[in-house]
Amino acid sequence: MKLLVIGIDGGSRNIIDAMPMPFTQALFARSASRNLDEDLISRGWAEILTGEHASDNKAFYLMPVAEGGLDFNASYSKSDMLSYSRNEPIWKRLNQAGTSVGLMNIPTTGPADQVKGFLVAGGGGGVKAGGAIPPTMMHPQTCKPLLEQHNYVFDVRLPGGESTVSGFLEKIRQAENAQKDTFIELARKEKPEFGFHCFRITTEVQYLARFEIERAAEAIRKARENGGDFQPETPTQQKVIEHYTNLDNSIRELFETLEPEHYIFVGDHSTALFKHEGNVDVWLERAGYLSRMSNAERKARGGLIRLRNKSDRIAVKYFGKKSPPLIRRPLTKFSPGRTRAFGTFYDTGNFAGIFINDRSRFGGPVSSEQEHERLVDEICENLNASEEAKEYQLEARPYRRQYPGTQFQRLMPDIRLHKPDSIYFSSRNWEFIRDNGNLKPLDENLAGIRYPHTGAKGHDPLFVFSQELEQHLQTDDPNDLRVVYRMICRHFEGAA
């Protein structure tokens, strides 16, 4: 294999360096790397697969429907990615250059395209986590018996149908081993020149157990300094450590079996310790930019939403209308007519943004472009002067105006709240900043646990590569995951 890409969802260099992963650590010690800076509004895998930011390929974690209301769309698919991206996806780009490919388990790749080589799509594309093996998720179809032989699982999401941490981590171990074993067998058979295998489910461990990872990392560091052996404090921590040992063994097996000439390790984001939870709507109300609904407004809006949802269900069932996207609505019940700005509220990207409630996008009271831009600057100035901004290292900056002329600028938040990754902003609690009460040793019981628990997305994804690939980096490359696409294309197209 000429180039092997190992994707680790939520891949974090500091975790790999701290855990008992001797093979991977030795590999990294003789590799090159680059510190990337992701804004966390753009889906990292879509950037890697197309070389484009969400402002150009619409790969937002959350975006307004932008039809004069407050509906937001939380869905994104491969068909969206291919429709809106100007670049060909990496598998098609390489095939056109005469390079055979083998891809497995990468998000936003299903249903699978026909390729020269093989492609087993990642979870999504209508596939239920832990579900059956649909033929639309692989090419060629001769892959299916091999997937069935290995009890292939496309995805596992917290809590994965399990009631205990140990059960959940064991399910992940089995799924990732099945994916790795299947990839190795397919690569031996098809002999692709380019391979891309993704360990997606590891990120679920980090969302759940980032606090335990942090505690174990510190204990391992002290044991190394003192020349002793690390001993896990609890059976739960032992299972977490075993996960990374198994990941290291899987990486070693991939390298020893496939013997790649070159390699790249990349994550779609990192994972940070989730210390505080924020709600920017609280500050916006306090500063006079947001007004919560009256009881009458709340009842009227609830009735309208129920009526619209019922109408959509009838249209899908009886008239063959396409199912609507995954709609999210602001958690804060604010008055649409009296609110001038509101915050992001379903933020799986950990971005932290503020939207101006303008008339053209949301039907709000801000009508002119001059008023819109004045509000952006005023909110940034006032928020940055707050005591919380100083205490928690927050800085509001204009965001949308930085992307003039891009295809989907209209869907972007007007303001980005720059902050430590350890502060996760949502609208789930009515406090501007509060401590995360989950930062404590992890209990075996998974009841009531949801994303994020003790870990959240971070802005500095893993990006480590064999030293010879450094020649493919250029000074004008963007310092985010788009550079991975460029590096791969230059490696094969330059050699062609």
Give the tens place of pLDDT for each residue, 148-171.
999 999 999 999 899 999 999 999
Give the helix/strand (H/E) hosting 270: strand 270-273
Handedness of CA 247, 250, 256, 259 (dihedral sign): negative
Mean pLDDT of 423-436: 95
Task: Give per-residue pLDDT as tens, 213-263.
Answer: 999 999 999 998 888 888 898 889 999 999 999 999 999 999 999 999 999
Task: Give per-residue pLDDT as tens, 288-306.
Answer: 999 999 877 776 666 666 6
- Of 261, 210, 265, nearest in space to 481 by CA: 265
Distance CA 29, CA 33 (A): 10
Task: Give per-residue pLDDT as tens, 346-404.
Answer: 877 899 999 999 999 999 999 999 999 999 999 999 999 999 999 999 999 999 999 99
Cα 260 to chain centroid, rounded: 27
175 in helix, strand or coil? helix
Cα dihedral 376/377/380/383 (nearest 10):
-100
- Of 127, 98, 130, 125, nearest in space to 113 by CA: 125
The reported pTM is 0.94
Split at pLDDT 50, 70, 90, the class of 317 is low
In the prediction, which pLDDT does 369 show? 96
Split at pLDDT 50, 70, 90, the class of 316 is low
Residue partners of 103: CB distance under 8 A and separation at least 6: 91, 109, 115, 117, 118, 119, 120, 195, 196, 197
Give the helix/strand (H/E) hosting 184: helix 165-190
- Of 38, 39, 43, nearest in space to 78 by CA: 43
**Domains of the chain (ranges plus CATH)?**
3-51+87-270+458-495 (3.40.720), 276-435 (no CATH)
Beta pairing partners, 32: 465
pLDDT at 322 over 70: no
- Of 287, 304, 288, nearest in space to 338 by CA: 288
In the prediction, which pLDDT does 131 show? 57
Cα 90 to chain centroid, rounded: 19
The amino acid occupying position 407 is Q
In the prediction, which pLDDT does 128 show? 54
Half-sphere exposure in the Cβ direction for 480 (13 Å, CA): 22
Distance CA 449, CA 377 (A): 38
Average pLDDT taken over every residue of the chain: 93
Mean pLDDT of 14-43: 97
DSSP state of 28: H
In the prediction, which pLDDT does 40 show? 97
Mean pLDDT of 89-101: 98
Distance CA 170, CA 165 (A): 9
In the prediction, which pLDDT does 125 show? 42
In the prediction, which pLDDT does 470 show? 97
Task: Give per-residue pLDDT as tens, 33-68.
Answer: 999 999 999 999 999 999 999 999 999 999 999 788
Higher pLDDT, 254 or 130: 254
Alpha-carbon distances, residue 313 vs 128, 158, 318, 319, 326 (angstroms): 21, 28, 9, 10, 13
The dihedrals phi and psi of 211, each to the nearest 5 degrees, come to: -65, -45
